[in-house]
């Protein structure tokens, strides 16, 4: 893990996150294999990063949507991501403000009696890359059912990517987010092969 942190050139906060992600994946939250995690490619017809056990749907506005079909990720859970060009910047306080606005907008559209709250917002506040921000939200429907949403922004040398994981199961929302975040962070931070 130490070697991966050095190769990626990540700071201590992202390094700790990568270590925790690898532990979570190793603990059975899922698996990611090199053949299943591919770097973004402008000419690829499929998703740039994919994990087994998920059905892929190409969404509008270059959104890549995945719906879990395996027991390990809790069927019905969803993950989506969208790439942005290199040079996309945002500071933690701006991310926090945007998340608060998103919750207000979602609350206005939610059915009467539903409650949406921000559980936590975390991230690296430094100005160096790579950098990651993550917000955890909880939606409680009028019938008491819950939806856990992990929404983040990953900023790397080669690109930025927004990532959202949602599930009725909190552990699945977190594990699914971690799996995709690992593959996406690698893809936006590693040097691209220009010989293709």
Distance CA 131, CA 128 (A): 7
Tell me which residue range forms the domain holding 156.
Answer: 2-189
Half-sphere exposure of 4 (CA within 13 A, CB side): 13
Task: Report the distance separating Cα 60 and Cα 195, nearest Å.
Answer: 30
pLDDT one-digit tens code per residue, 26-63: 433 343 333 333 334 433 567 889 999 999 999 888 99
Q: pTM here?
A: 0.76
- pLDDT, tens digit, 9 for 90 and up, residues 65-123: 999 999 999 999 999 999 999 888 889 999 999 999 999 999 999 999 999 999 999 99
Residue 193: its pLDDT value, please?
Answer: 55
Question: φ and ψ at 160, to 5 degrees?
Answer: -125, 160
Q: Check which CATH number belongs to the domain holding 54 and give it.
A: 3.40.1000.10
Q: Which residues contact 14 (CB under 8 A, 6 or more apart)?
A: 5, 8, 124, 130, 131, 132, 185
Does residue 194 lie in a domain region? no
Into how many domains does the chain fold?
1
Question: What angle is formed at CA 174 by the lines to CA 171 and CA 180, rounded to 5 degrees?
Answer: 135
196 domain-assigned: no
Residue 195 lies in a domain: no
Report the distance separating Cα 51 and Cα 12, nearest Å.
Answer: 27
Q: What is the mean pLDDT of residues 171-186?
A: 96
Nearest CA-CA partner of 187 in 162, 153, 156, 150: 156
Question: Is 119 inside any structural domain?
Answer: yes
Supply φ then ψ for residue 112, to 5 degrees: -55, 135
On whether residue 30 sits in a domain, the answer given is yes
Q: CA dihedral defined by 16, 33, 121, 105, rounded to 10 degrees?
A: 170
* Average pLDDT of every residue of the chain: 80
Distance CA 31, CA 51 (A): 8
Q: Cβ distance 79 to 183 under 8 Å?
A: no
């Amino acid at each position: 893990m130490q070697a991966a942190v050095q190769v990626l050139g990540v700071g201590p906060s992202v390094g700790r996150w990568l270590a925790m992600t690898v532990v979570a994946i190793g603990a059975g939250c899922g698996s990611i294999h090199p053949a299943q995690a591919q770097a973004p490619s402008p000419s690829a017809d499929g998703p740039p990063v994919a994990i087994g056990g998920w059905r892929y749907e190409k969404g509008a506005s270059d959104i890549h949507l995945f719906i879990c079909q395996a027991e390990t990720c809790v069927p019905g859970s969803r993950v989506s991501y969208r790439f942005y060009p290199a040079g996309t910047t945002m500071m933690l306080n701006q991310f926090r403000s945007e998340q608060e606005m998103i919750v207000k907008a979602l609350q206005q559209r939610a059915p009467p009696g539903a409650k949406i709250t921000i559980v936590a917002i975390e991230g690296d506040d430094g100005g160096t890359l790579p950098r990651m921000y993550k917000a955890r939200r909880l939606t409680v429907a009028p019938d008491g059912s819950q939806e856990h949403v992990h929404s983040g922004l990953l900023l790397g040398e080669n690109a930025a990517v927004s990532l959202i994981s949602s599930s009725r199961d909190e552990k699945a929302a977190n594990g699914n987010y971690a799996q995709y975040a690992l593959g996406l962070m690698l893809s936006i931070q590693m040097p691209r092969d220009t010989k293709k």
